[in-house]
Amino acid sequence: MIFKTATLGCKVNQYETQWLRAAFLANGWLDADDEKGRNDDVEIVVVNTCSVTAESDAKSRKLVAHFAKEFPNAEIVVIGCYAASDPERVKKLPNVGEVVPDKRKLPQFLRRRGLEIIPTGVDKFAERSRAYVKVQDGCRVGCAYCIIPQTRPYLQSRPIADVLDEATRLAAQGYREIVLTGIHLGHYGLDFYPPTPEEGDVDFERPTPLETYLARQARVPEAQRVDLATLLQALTDLKLPRLRFRLGSLEAVEVADRLVELVRERREQICPHFHLSMQSGDDDVLRAMKRRWLSAPYLERCRSICERVPNAALTTDVIVGFPGETDAQFERTCDVVRALHFSKVHVFRFSARPGSVAADLPNQIPPEVKKERAARLIQIAREEREKFAQTLVGTVAQIVVEDSDGDAKIIRGENAQYYEVEAALPEGATIRPGDLVDVALERAREDLLLGTICNAPKSPDASLRFA
């Protein structure tokens, strides 16, 4: 029995596909990617879809159609956010035999297909040198441009013991960086607090309002709360050798003081890198976006992090051309990007996502204006990234090797601040993708850091999955 998987979208989707892959393999199935030339034998193709934009929907449909042609005898099973946002249309796509719109019901799907071994996590992550670990699912915030609270409306945090077990297994397989991911990572643990008797019976098929989760948490003394800092402390307390952790996307004001102190105190184990979603630097635009926080608390939290964590890298997301955004409002966003010296800015042109509040707002911005604003902000962000790279020159970076070019005698990898680093391969050294090495950073070429390896291993450093 042979299966095939394919993934579109975020790190959470990528993790969930790996979990499904682990389930199939544990039950004796073969992966089509390992069984070349046996297309006619593929029985199931699982497509994990994305629905963050209308373009993502189109890509999802295109991918299903592609596999229907490539594997004409296989049944296609569609999961993910597009399966949740438009299940009726998905059912009509070629060769689709089943749609699983609710990720919570994947174990039931597997059992219906005769797979009895349901994994609690993963211990391999394809051929990547870093692994993603999903620790949280669901969002209840409701930003105007987003439909994810409709496709993933249930907050669900993984028990700490399960995450610790998974991290231990991944470390044993040779992974040297683990990225903690979630749909709304900063809300890890919010669902651990039980409802009050006044709330009555809980309907688990109906999404709980975010305010209810926050009220439940507020009744628990702060010292007894379980949150992202609690999880990260437990992971670093394991003291797994030569392993570092990186946090996925967060909201700035959800970065608690305890979390910042943990990163500062354990920077050898935790990357000093905070991806803090901003979307706009203008308060009126943020209100129109239905963002929960305005620019002042965002700026305050970012500055506090940089003051307390040396060489902390801040990265962010920005949407340009949101309906009604004026030139002056866009300029305020540019000013914030310059003021906070982001090491990277992901710039997105607003796309009217059908089903979202923003899709029906008046004063939609012309495409040519969005394109011009995006190009300008990308240039500003590039300049800030190059400036930040210069501040890292003279330091020693720990990098996870992504690529080793024996012919060119160089290695490449990323440091804790998420910059690409390139270094000469010492004579006689054996370094493979996935190894963790220290590099003395000597100069920056634009945003590429160049240096010399300090601790080149003479034998493979636990790169078991590449053997």
Q: For residue range 407-435, what is the model confidence (pLDDT) as tens digits?
A: 668 889 999 999 999 998 877 777 878 88
| 23 to 18, 124, 167: CA distances (angstroms) | 9, 12, 18
Q: Where are the domains of the chain?
A: 2-112, 131-391, 396-466
User: Residues 454, 455, 461, 466: is their CA dihedral positive or negative?
Assistant: positive
- Name the percent of the chain lying above pLDDT 70: 94
Local confidence band at 406 (pLDDT 50, 70, 90 cut-offs): low
pLDDT score at 369: 98
Residue 405 clears pLDDT 70, i.e. is over it: no
Residue 458 clears pLDDT 50, i.e. is over it: no
User: Mean pLDDT throughout 192-202?
Assistant: 81
Say which CATH topology domain 131-391 has: pyruvate-formate lyase- activating enzyme (3.80.30)
User: Mean pLDDT throughout 437-441?
Assistant: 93
| Same fold yes or no, 2-112 and 131-391 | no
User: Mean pLDDT throughout 386-413?
Assistant: 86
Residue 216 clears pLDDT 80, i.e. is over it: yes
Write out the chain in H/E/C secondary structure: CEEEEEECCCHHHHHHHHHHHHHHHHCCCEEHHHCCCCHHHEEEEEEEECCCCHHHHHHHHHHHHHHHHHCCCCEEEEEEHHHHHCHHHHHCCCCEEEEECCHHHHHHHHHHCCCCCCCCCCCCECECCCEEEEEEECCCCCCCCCCHHHHCCCCEECCHHHHHHHHHHHHHCCCCEEEEEECCHHHCCHHHCCCCHHHCCCCCCCCCCHHHHHHHHHCCCHHHCCCHHHHHHHHHHCCCCCCEEEECEECHHHCCHHHHHHHHHCCCCECCEEEECCECCCHHHHHHCCCCCCHHHHHHHHHHHHHHCCCCEEEEEEEECCCCCCHHHHHHHHHHHHHHCCCEEEEEECCCCCCCHHHHCCCCCCHHHHHHHHHHHHHHHHHHHHHHHHHHCCCEEEEEEEEEECCCCEEEEECCCCCEEEEECCCCCCCCCCCEEEEEEEEEECCEEEEEECCCCCCCCCCHHHC
pLDDT score at 205: 76
Residue 319 clears pLDDT 90, i.e. is over it: yes
Tokens representing 441 are 């950073």
Neighbour count for residue 72 (Cβ, 10 Å): 12
Residue 333's nearest CA partner among 297, 363, 295, 302 is 295
Q: Residues near 422 by Cβ (< 8 Å), separated by ≥ 6?
A: 410, 411, 412, 448, 449, 450, 451
Local confidence band at 450 (pLDDT 50, 70, 90 cut-offs): very high
pLDDT score at 465: 27
- Name the percent of the chain lying above pLDDT 90: 79
Are the C-beta atoms of 431 and 399 separated by less than 8 Å? no
Local confidence band at 242 (pLDDT 50, 70, 90 cut-offs): confident
pLDDT score at 448: 94
| 442 to 391, 395, 398, 424, 449: CA distances (angstroms) | 11, 8, 14, 12, 8
Residue 366 clears pLDDT 50, i.e. is over it: yes
Say which CATH topology domain 2-112 has: Rossmann fold (3.40.50)
pLDDT digit string, tens, across residues 116-149: 999 989 988 876 678 999 999 999 999 999 999 9
Residue 20 clears pLDDT 90, i.e. is over it: yes
| 348 to 114, 309, 316, 370, 375: CA distances (angstroms) | 43, 28, 11, 9, 10
Q: Residues near 340 by Cβ (< 8 Å), separated by ≥ 6?
A: 299, 302, 303, 314, 316
pLDDT score at 408: 63
pLDDT score at 128: 67
Local confidence band at 466 (pLDDT 50, 70, 90 cut-offs): very low
pLDDT digit string, tens, across residues 103-114: 999 999 999 999
User: Mean pLDDT throughout 98-107?
Assistant: 93
Render the burial of 398-419: b for 16+ CB within 10 Å, e for the rest. bbbbbebeeeeeebbbbbbbeb
Say which CATH topology domain 396-466 has: OB fold (Dihydrolipoamide Acetyltransferase, E2P) (2.40.50)
